[in-house]
A and B are shown apart, each in its own frame.
Chain A
Amino acid sequence: MSALDKLNAKAIKKVNAEVKETPKPIEEKKEAKEADLKASKSFTEKPKKPEAAKEPKKKKHPGGRKPTRGQNGKDYKMMNIAIPMEVYEKLQAASNGNMTYYINSILRSSVED
């Protein structure tokens, strides 16, 4: 315990003693109690909102990003190159979620062929 802690501990005791020496008047205490009671009642009486069953939000677009609309009116997925949305969706379904690996494997097999 440091010197300041020791002095602070004693100083706090002094403050506590002073607080004890000046008790609140009884009426004030009653009022405070009633107010506390009211506050606690109003808190418990509040009707609880029924919890709606949470549904997972649906993603509007596969890949999470809004597709870019081309001049021809078709939607494109902007990757390293612009892929038509129909192709992108097909690729995603076929790749089973790992599109990069799927495309790479196609490319590799085509090179090997």
Chain B
Amino acid sequence: MAYKIVIANQKGGVAKTTTAVNIADALKYMGYRVLLLDLDPQCNSTSVFVGGTVPEDENTILDVFLKRENISDCIKHTDFGDVVCGSRELANSEDTFMRAAGGLKIVKNALKEINEQYDFIIMDTPPNCGAFMRNALFAANGIITPLQAKRFALDGLTDFLDTIELLKDDGNEQLEILGLLLTMYDQRNKQDKEIIAALPEVGQKLNINVFKTPIRINQAIENAIADSKSLFLTRSTSNGANDYADLVCEILDIINKGALNNECA
């Protein structure tokens, strides 16, 4: 049964897409069956997987939302991995799904069909708490929240956590926050150092795990994304590859620990 991870933060520019793509890539390299679901109307992770724009006749996530197509018909197999492509038209139809009855369970219901086909389903989300983000959170098992190591990093985090609690109450009790992930960390920058020092305390106060591995700012990550190539296969010695490898190991440990705890309970 697939473990569904959503990469979510209502703030933009915090490396959600980069994190989603590299986690999916690392898990695939490790031999897991991985699917990336692009729920962001910007379609950046789709363009990394496809290596450009999606052909017009290709089924996208929009077909799942509008036409209720089977999600298995929307999976595109690429060299990078399996992806359900995003659509720019998602942005225009968001309000419709917010208001529609059952509009927040579309992704959850769609994923039931392919639950056994994959070990991990990674969901990339838009930078807002709209219909698509809520759909992803409703379907997910775990959340990773990337935070940029900058002054306003923690602003709005409590609101986001409230949204998660509401969704838990609405029916997705299994949802757990895997952790806060510090991205674009510059170890030479004083402000970044202060934030990384303060983050564990914030985590303790909010009762959330903070990943031990910060993702350092690294050009290799950007270059791999720009080339639509695997960071681990083309730039395996870079700091970026090392950080994401550590992160994925940490994620697996958390998930396995959780699974053990559930078995014990």
Which residues of A pack against B, CB within 8 Å? 2-4, 6-8, 10-11, 14-15
Contacts and interface: CB of A to CB of B under 8 A. Distances in A.
B242 A2 contact: yes
B236 A6 contact: no
B98 interface: no
Interface of B: 26, 29-32, 232, 236-238, 241-242, 244-246, 248-249, 252
Contacts of A7: 26, 29-30, 232, 245, 248-249
Contact of A10 (B236, B242, B248): B248
Contacts of A4: 29, 232, 236, 241, 245
Contacts of B26: 7
21 contacts: A2-B236, A2-B241, A3-B232, A3-B236, A3-B237, A3-B241, A4-B232, A4-B236, A4-B241, A6-B242, A6-B249, A7-B26, A7-B29, A7-B30, A7-B232, A7-B249, A10-B248, A10-B252, A11-B29, A11-B30, A14-B31
A83 B29 CA distance: 75
Contacts of A2: 236-237, 241-242
Interface of B is mostly: helix
Given A10-B248, A10-B249, A10-B252, A3 B30 contact: no
Contacts of B241: 2-4
Contacts of B238: 3
Interface of A is mostly: helix
Contacts of B30: 7-8, 10-11, 14
Contacts of A3: 232, 236-238, 241-242, 244-245
Contacts of A8: 30
A6 B232 CA distance: 11
Contacts of B245: 3-4, 6-7
A18 to B, nearest CB: 10
B31 A11 contact: yes
A6 B246 CA distance: 7
A10 B251 CA distance: 11
A8 B248 CA distance: 12
